[in-house]
Amino acid sequence: MNEQLVANTFLYLTNAIVFGVLAFLLWQFYRGFGSQHVKYWQFSLQALTTSQLTMTVKAFTALSSPTSVVQVVLEGIYQSSYFVFVSLFLIGLYIAQTQKPLARRYVVAIAGASFATAWLFTLVYAFADGHVYDRFFMRETLPEFLFGLAYMGMAFFSYRTAPVHVSSRIMQVSFVIYGLRFFVFSMLSTFMVAEVWFSQVIRFFAFFDIGSHAVIGFSMLIWMQGAERSAANSAKNKAQYLGRHDSLTGSLNREQVLEKMPELMRNASKHNKQLSIFLLDIKRFKFINDTYGLKTGDYILGEIARRLRDSLFQPQIVGRLSGDSFVYVFEFEHRQQISRALNHLHELIARPYQYDGQDIMLQCSVGYSFYPEHGDSAETLLQLSNLALFHAESRNEASKQYSDDMQVQGRHLLAVEKAIKLAMERDEFELYFQPQLNLLTNKLEGVEALIRWNHPDDGLLTPNQFLPDVDALALNSALDNYVLDKACRAIARWHQAYRRWVTVAVNITAVEFQDPKLVPSIQALLLRYDVPPNYLELEITENVVMTDLQSAMDTIVELQTMGIKVSIDDFGTGYSSLAYLRKLPIDKIKIDRSFINEMAENDSDLTIVKSMVRLSHGLGKRVLAEGVETQTQLDILRTLDCDAVQGYFISKPISEADLVKYFKR
Binding site for Ca ion (CB under 5 A): 507, 539, 569-570, 626
Nearer to ligand C2E, 396 or 464 (CB): 464
647 binds, among Ca ion, ligand C2E, none (CB under 5 to 8 A by kind): ligand C2E
Task: Answer whether 351's CB lies under 8 Å from 292's CB.
Answer: no
Q: Is 460 helix (H, G, I), strand (E, B) or coil?
A: strand
467 binds, among ligand C2E, Ca ion, none (CB under 5 to 8 A by kind): ligand C2E
Nearer to Ca ion, 87 or 633 (CB): 633
Nearer to ligand C2E, 21 or 460 (CB): 460
648 binds, among ligand C2E, Ca ion, none (CB under 5 to 8 A by kind): ligand C2E
Nearer to Ca ion, 269 or 573 (CB): 573
CB of 439 to ligand C2E, least distance (A): 16
Angle ∠(370,371,375) on CA atoms, nearest 5: 95
CB of 594 to Ca ion, least distance (A): 10
Task: Compute the distance between CA of residue 18 and CA of residue 24 in angstroms, rounded to an integer.
Answer: 10
CB of 592 to ligand C2E, least distance (A): 7
Torsion of CA 576, 579, 584, 589, to 10 degrees: 70
265 binds, among ligand C2E, Ca ion, none (CB under 5 to 8 A by kind): none
Nearer to ligand C2E, 150 or 628 (CB): 628
CB of 449 to ligand C2E, least distance (A): 6
Task: Compute the distance between CA of residue 264 and CA of residue 272 in angstroms, rounded to an integer.
Answer: 12
Task: Answer whether 55's CB lies under 8 Å from 15's CB.
Answer: yes
Tell me which residue of 564, 638, 625 sits closest to 598, measured CA to CA: 625
450 binds, among Ca ion, ligand C2E, none (CB under 5 to 8 A by kind): ligand C2E
147-153: which pairs have CB atoms within 8 A and are 24 or more residues apart? 147/86, 147/179, 147/182, 148/179, 148/180, 148/181, 148/182, 148/183, 148/185, 148/186, 149/179, 150/86, 150/90, 150/179, 151/175, 151/176, 151/178, 151/179, 151/182, 152/176, 152/179, 152/180, 152/183
217 binds, among Ca ion, ligand C2E, none (CB under 5 to 8 A by kind): none
CB of 543 to ligand C2E, least distance (A): 12
The letter for the amino acid at 290 is: D
CB of 512 to ligand C2E, least distance (A): 8
483 binds, among ligand C2E, Ca ion, none (CB under 5 to 8 A by kind): ligand C2E
Strand blocks (E) in 463-618: 504-507, 536-541, 565-571, 588-591
Task: Compute the distance between CA of residue 75 and CA of residue 71 in angstroms, rounded to an integer.
Answer: 6
Contacts to ligand C2E by CB under 6 A: 434, 449-451, 462-464, 467, 480, 483, 507, 509, 569-570, 593, 627-629, 647-648, 653
Nearer to ligand C2E, 233 or 655 (CB): 655
Nearer to Ca ion, 281 or 570 (CB): 570
CB of 559 to ligand C2E, least distance (A): 16
10 binds, among ligand C2E, Ca ion, none (CB under 5 to 8 A by kind): none
Quick one: DSSP state of residue 445? Answer: E
Angle ∠(63,69,73) on CA atoms, nearest 5: 95
Nearer to Ca ion, 86 or 625 (CB): 625
CB of 495 to ligand C2E, least distance (A): 21
Residues 6+ apart with CB under 8 A from 371: 265, 268, 274, 275, 276, 277, 381
